[in-house]
Amino acid sequence: MRLLETHGCQGGAHAGYVRAGWDVTGVDIDRRHARYYPGELVIADAATYIREHGHEYDAIHTSPPCQWYTRGNAPRRGTETRWERSIPAIRDALQSTGRPYVIENVKDAGWDMESPVTLCGCMFDLSTTDTDGVEIHLQRPRLFETNWGMKPPRKCDHSHHTWVAGAYGGARRDKYEAKYVRKGGYVPKDKEVVKRLLGVEHHMTWNGLYECVPPPYTEYIGVALSETIEAWRSPSSLISTARRASTAVLPPLSQT
Ligand SMILES: [Zn+2]
């Protein structure tokens, strides 16, 4: 099945969907990402491309820019003209296609998302050994809004993890200082460690890793999404069609 992915950046989400068996086409307005994106990348405005071509795909994933929503950027929100409240316009475009969709964003954007589901590294046992031999676990909650009722595999729980780590800019790179002095997040200094932690196998820059949707998250979504679409299309789903008609959350799906 064919998936359209907008705001593809350096292809973290892309890699997971490919592992789940999807044929992925990316769209990004920033031509520079084409150097790192691991598949076909169309240079175009996301909302425009979705409105014009979204119906040609079986499903659509979007990661609208998060800068406007990020709490740390709030003081600059009024003066930074490149940033925008990006989710509503993208959702409108997605809904115009009648296709199942996924909108990914950061926790700070949760108020602008409809019933988002959290996925985190702990749900997929994402962990690796740091350069000092210490076992570290990925703590990277990301929100996902869908119009097809995606459920998380389990709850976010790090209570049994001694050391957690993430991947974002501006963090301290000393895990002991991060945990015991600043009581904040830790990002490993070794890029290969961060890649293993995120489940990334292809080349990315540090900025790509900071913005990356870990591939195991979208692999999980991709499997659930294709199972959902197959269930909708199977003849035996006639029974569930009646049930579907009684719930307003599912989109109209054209038979292809
Ligand atoms: Zn977690």
Gap between the Cα atoms of 37 and 39, Å rounded: 6
Cα 63 to ligand 1 centre (Å): 20
Q: How many CB atoms lie within 10 A of CB 227?
A: 11
Gap between the Cα atoms of 255 and 82, Å rounded: 39
Cα 136 to ligand 1 centre (Å): 12
Cβ contact 139:158 at 8 Å: yes
Cα 215 to ligand 1 centre (Å): 15
> Residues 66-77: pLDDT tens digits?
777 877 776 676
Q: Which candidate, 78, 85, 147, places its Cα nearest to that of 116? A: 147
Give the global pTM: 0.88
> Residues 166-222: pLDDT tens digits?
998 877 788 888 888 877 789 999 999 999 999 999 999 999 999 999 999 999 999
* Complete domains list, the chain, with CATH: 2-245 (3.40.50)
Cα 45 to ligand 1 centre (Å): 33
Cα 126 to ligand 1 centre (Å): 10
Residue 211, CA atoms < 13 Å, CB-side half-sphere? 17
> Residues 152-167: pLDDT tens digits?
999 999 999 999 999 9
